[in-house]
Amino acid sequence: MAGLSLKHIYKVYDGRNTNKKKSVRALIKKVRGKSEPKPTVEKRSGKFVAVKDFNMEIEDGEFIVFVGPSGCGKSTTIRMIAGLEDISGGELYIDGVLVNDVAPKERDIAMVFQNYALYPHMTVHQNIAFALKLRKLPVAKVDKEGKPVFAIDKKKIRELKDKLEVVGYDAEYAESEADKEMLLQRRQSLEKELDYYTQTPVQAYKYKKMPKSAINEKVEWAAKILGIEELLDNKPAEMSGGQRQRVALGRAMVRGPKVFLLDEPLSNLDAKLRASMRQEIVKLHNELKTTFIYVTHDQVEAMTMGTRIVVMKLGVVQQIDTPTNLYDFPDNKFVAGFIGTPQMNFMDVTIKKAAKKLAVTFANGQTLKLDLAQLRKIDGKYLDGEEHEVALGVRGEHIRIAETGNANSLKTTLSVKEVLGNTTQMFVKLTDGGQDYIVCVLDRNDYRSGDPVKITFAEKNVHLFDKESEISIMDREVGNN
Ligand code: ATP
């Protein structure tokens, strides 16, 4: 179990394949081998910032979900945590230890991917046991009296020196001042680490294989929790997608990692199985109480599984919050639109404070007067008595049909009605002026396509966003306007 700390993490893809398992020395040699090194550096076209200034403290035992549309940088971030991608800038700590330069296998992290990657010729038991069989466990070295042996870690020092050499070289030929600054900071933190390891003897380890009985015990323990005890002798081809993903989870579990990283593990399953596996994974987390970090593009998975969710867009964190806070208090229009089905309705409006009301003027020229005491607190600069253009957001379930004779309502026309049984979704358009549909989630009713429908909003659930920046202009508390 472990807490994680991500400080100003950046990932810049610079056209060089950072995943190549070439030794850093070979890389330096290759670059230095050129008669004129600078052009080689400039060849790094397609430089791309995939993750920008990611900051987060993750408590031990949390279930964190990274969510966002394709390409937002969620997989890159989880891969940096796993050690499968180099961190271009910033610092990553696991349990307070800086791990930027710690090899993946030494981070004590298990990763489960979308593709189960099981060995087809092995049984479930063999698949789960495989990593344990190969694994040599570090056993702290002790002297004859049983006291821990401390020594200077020469391997670690060698690795750090290699890294320093590469970073120093990159800094020298950085393409911009910002890059140079980032690389110099990185060099400083590497130097600090090198100083520490050069001067400080650390616990020495020897490595031993796990006994067979201990491996079997672990496999049976995982199989029991995952409900696949009956399948231990089966081969992957004889199992369903859900069962195979359970085996993949089992393989991660037996390693007893400090952190579980799950990258879209349910994407290959059909909708029904995904829903049940979602619950299985939440149960597994409750049982193991280990830190889980889960990547998905599916906001329903994020909402139902995460204790906290990180919403990302184009490499930038948009909001980190609990599922209900994200739903109720989105920090910006992107988060508001991304979380929730059907999507929040957005309307371009102008607002103007008039006594204790907020006059909201819509595209069809109609004005709705909202009670300022019922709305969430609005940034004072929008309440100066002048007109301001903003985006109004309201979720379908916070729209009501106006009572007959209520003049303070919005005139719309019903386009399409979908009766879902438990709710009815009505797609209405502003009469005389509205292009976009407003989706209302209502009870059953007798309206038909083409009918006029007057609607009002539940005021405390109305959202307002600045038109340019798209940032919310509201606080979390209601009233005080
Ligand atoms: P998806 O859900 O599609 O996997 P994602 O949010 O996980 O998306 P990432 O895989 O993290 O996105 O990719 C973030 C961005 O970085 C994307 O624009 C992607 O094209 C780019 N990218 C990823 N790997 C590399 C690479 N090796 N070299 C250059 N660019 C890359």
Q: What is the whole-number distance in angstroms between the Cα of residue 478 and the centre of ligand 1?
A: 40
Q: What is the pLDDT of residue 273?
A: 79
Q: What is the pLDDT of residue 18?
A: 45
| pLDDT averaged per 10 residues, the chain (length 481) | 89 63 46 39 58 96 95 94 92 92 87 84 94 83 92 90 88 83 87 93 89 93 89 92 88 90 86 84 90 94 95 96 96 96 94 94 93 95 95 96 89 94 94 83 93 94 97 90 72
Instruction: Please report where in the chains the tokens 């438990």 appear, as a residue.
Output: 422
Helix or strand run (H / E) with residue 220: helix 212-226
Helix or strand run (H / E) with residue 320: strand 316-321
- Cα 207 to its chain centre, rounded Å, is 35
Q: What is the whole-number distance in angstroms between the Cα of residue 14 and the centre of ligand 1?
A: 13
Q: What is the pLDDT of residue 260?
A: 93
How many CA atoms does the CB half-sphere of 20 hold within 13 Å? 10
Atom of ligand 1 nearest to the CA of 295: 7
Q: Would you state the structure tokens that stand for residue 57, as one six-digit string?
A: 């403290």
Ligand 1 mutation pick, 12, 13, 312, 314, max ligand atoms within 8 A of CB = 13
Q: Where are the beta strands (DSSP E) in 42-197?
A: 48-58, 63-67, 89-94, 97-98, 109-112, 136-140, 150-151
Atom of ligand 1 nearest to the CA of 76: 11
Q: If you take atom 31 of ligand 1, which residue's CA is the nearest one?
A: 13
User: Model-level pTM greater than 0.75?
Assistant: yes
Output the CA angle 248-300-253, nearest 5 degrees.
20
Q: What is the whole-number distance in angstroms between the Cα of residue 72 and the centre of ligand 1?
A: 7
| DSSP tally for the chain: helices H, then strands E | 12, 26
Nearest CA-CA partner of 259 in 222, 285, 287, 293: 293
Q: What is the pLDDT of residue 46?
A: 59
Q: If you take atom 7 of ligand 1, which residue's CA is the nearest one?
A: 75
d(CA 301, CA 292): 14
Q: If you take atom 20 of ligand 1, which residue's CA is the nearest one?
A: 71
Q: What is the pLDDT of residue 405?
A: 81
Q: What is the whole-number distance in angstroms between the Cα of residue 76 and the centre of ligand 1?
A: 6
**312 vs 49, 57, 268, 295, 469, CA distance in Å?**
14, 16, 22, 11, 16
Helix or strand run (H / E) with residue 195: helix 177-199
Output the CA angle 33-38-40, nearest 5 degrees.
60
Ligand 1 mutation pick, 75, 268, 314, 338, max ligand atoms within 8 A of CB = 75
Q: If you take atom 19 of ligand 1, which residue's CA is the nearest one?
A: 71
Ligand 1, pocket residues at CB < 6 Å: 13, 48, 50, 68, 70-76, 297
Q: What is the pLDDT of residue 7?
A: 95
Nearest CA-CA partner of 172 in 37, 25, 44, 26: 37
Q: If you take atom 11 of ligand 1, which residue's CA is the nearest one?
A: 73
Atom of ligand 1 nearest to the CA of 72: 6
Atom of ligand 1 nearest to the CA of 315: 14
Contact 57, 5 (CB under 8 A): yes
Q: What is the whole-number distance in angstroms between the Cα of residue 75 and the centre of ligand 1?
A: 7
Q: What is the whole-number distance in angstroms between the Cα of residue 65 and the centre of ligand 1?
A: 17
Q: What is the pLDDT of residue 35?
A: 38
